[in-house]
């Protein structure tokens, strides 16, 4: 990809490139179905990994540039973004302060589990507010920042805008190049990449990257986002177009993402963000039992449900090649453990 992506400043954290593997046992359940691959961005490193490590590698460069000693950020109680931001702060020798929205949970937890447990173990200072994931907590972030300034510290707020910044999106344009190179090394040209779409930055980057590659290889790879219910369709499409345009300018390319380039599946979010569906729970079990690949209950399981339905509908035939981007999030699974308990009459003693 002839652009300035490789010249963008980054911290050099994380384990890249992440693995690209064929799901040979899983794909056999589909008669006359496609080859199915997985891009393992759950294995990026830093506190159990995930796609945010790749983005933070670029986003948090400014923390070092401005001499920050504290990172303040926000998301939900079981936030992967927050966990990976705390992990990056730890690696940079900085303090981390979290303002977490209760999101899909009614209240802040009495007992820490999943992501918030890891936040606490890594030493984050944790504050919670009762607010939906789509709410705007910036005033609460500024309260914490001002408190730290009075103590003589140098805080940097990493807010909702940073998660969809040009740098965050560029990280996944780069990931698309990495994925295409790995596929090519296996003699594979990808017809589609499936990804969970929440705020839209990862899908924006993949779509931009795929379109940049299309100009060089003449091979069109569809990026298929599965809306997980955090934001409405119109918001997501606007975010993808605007953030990818900012990333394109940063990367020095004239390529632009248009509405025609955006595929967003809307039938797999269920009741609300963070609430599992029958399909997403079955996807978790199916991938675990065919590939020992563990999905999470908020993002990747709903995206996988979308992939499964697309293959079952005959959209991808034998001989085609599709890839699933595993964005991580597995620690949250432990906060949903009640969804996976065996029935009492199925438990036998030795």
Determine which helix (DSSP H) or strand (DSSP E) holds 325, and give its type and residue range: strand 321-326
235 secondary structure, DSSP code: H
Is the Cβ–Cβ distance between 53 and 39 less than 8 Å? no
Q: Which pair of tokens denotes residue 209?
A: 């990257």
Q: Which pair of tokens denotes residue 164?
A: 């969809």
Catalytic residue check, 6: no
Is the Cβ–Cβ distance between 37 and 191 less than 8 Å? no
Place of tokens 């029935």: 343
What is d(CA 38, CA 40) in angstroms, rounded to the nearest whole number? 6
- Residue 177 — φ and ψ, nearest 5°? -65, -45
For helices 51-59 and 166-185, the axis angle rounded to 10 degrees is 130
Return the C-alpha torsion angle 272, 268, 344, 331, nearest 10. -70
DSSP 3-state helix, strand, coil percentages of the chain (rounded to 5)?
45, 15, 40
Point out the catalytic residue in the list 79, 82, 280, 310. Answer: 79
Q: Which pair of tokens denotes residue 61?
A: 């460069």
Q: 79 vs 42, 58, 109, 122, CA distance in Å?
A: 14, 19, 13, 14
Is the Cβ–Cβ distance between 206 and 171 less than 8 Å? no
Residues 6+ apart with CB under 8 A from 161: none
Determine which helix (DSSP H) or strand (DSSP E) holds 1, and give its type and residue range: none
Active site (catalytic) residues: 79
């Amino acid at each position: 990809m002839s652009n300035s992506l490789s010249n963008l400043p980054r911290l050099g954290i994380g384990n890249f490139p992440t693995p690209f593997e064929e799901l040979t046992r899983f794909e056999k359940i589909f008669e006359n179905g496609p080859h199915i691959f997985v891009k393992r961005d759950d294995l990026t490193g830093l506190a159990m990994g995930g796609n945010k490590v790749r983005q933070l590698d670029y986003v948090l460069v400014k923390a070092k540039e401005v001499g920050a000693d504290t990172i303040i950020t926000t998301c939900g109680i079981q936030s992967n973004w927050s966990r990976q931001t705390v992990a990056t702060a730890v690696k940079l020798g900085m303090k981390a302060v979290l303002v977490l929205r209760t999101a899909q949970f009614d209240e802040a937890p009495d007992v820490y589990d999943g992501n918030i447990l890891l936040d606490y173990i890594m030493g984050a200072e944790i504050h919670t507010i009762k607010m939906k994931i789509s709410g705007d907590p910036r005033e609460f972030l500024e309260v914490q920042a001002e408190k730290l300034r009075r103590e003589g510290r140098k805080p940097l707020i990493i807010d909702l805008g940073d998660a969809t910044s040009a740098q965050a999106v560029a990280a996944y344009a780069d990931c698309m190049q990495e994925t295409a190179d790995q596929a090519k090394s296996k003699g594979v040209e990808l017809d589609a990449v499936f990804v969970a779409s929440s705020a839209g930055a990862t899908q924006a980057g993949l779509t931009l990257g795929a379109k940049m590659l299309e100009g060089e290889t003449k091979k069109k790879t569809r990026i298929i986002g599965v809306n997980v219910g955090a934001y409405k369709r119109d918001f997501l499409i606007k975010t993808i177009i605007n953030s990818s345009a900012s990333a394109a300018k940063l990367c020095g390319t004239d390529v632009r993402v248009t509405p025609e380039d955006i595929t967003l599946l809307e039938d797999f979010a269920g009741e609300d963000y963070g609430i599992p569906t029958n399909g997403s729970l079955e996807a978790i079990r199916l991938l675990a039992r065919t590939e020992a690949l563990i999905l999470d209950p908020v993002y990747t399981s709903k995206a996988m449900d979308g992939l499964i339905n697309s293959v079952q509908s005959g959209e991808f035939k034998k001989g085609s090649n599709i890839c699933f981007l595993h964005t991580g999030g597995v620690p949250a699974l432990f906060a949903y453990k009640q969804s996976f308990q065996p029935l009492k009459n199925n438990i036998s003693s030795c």
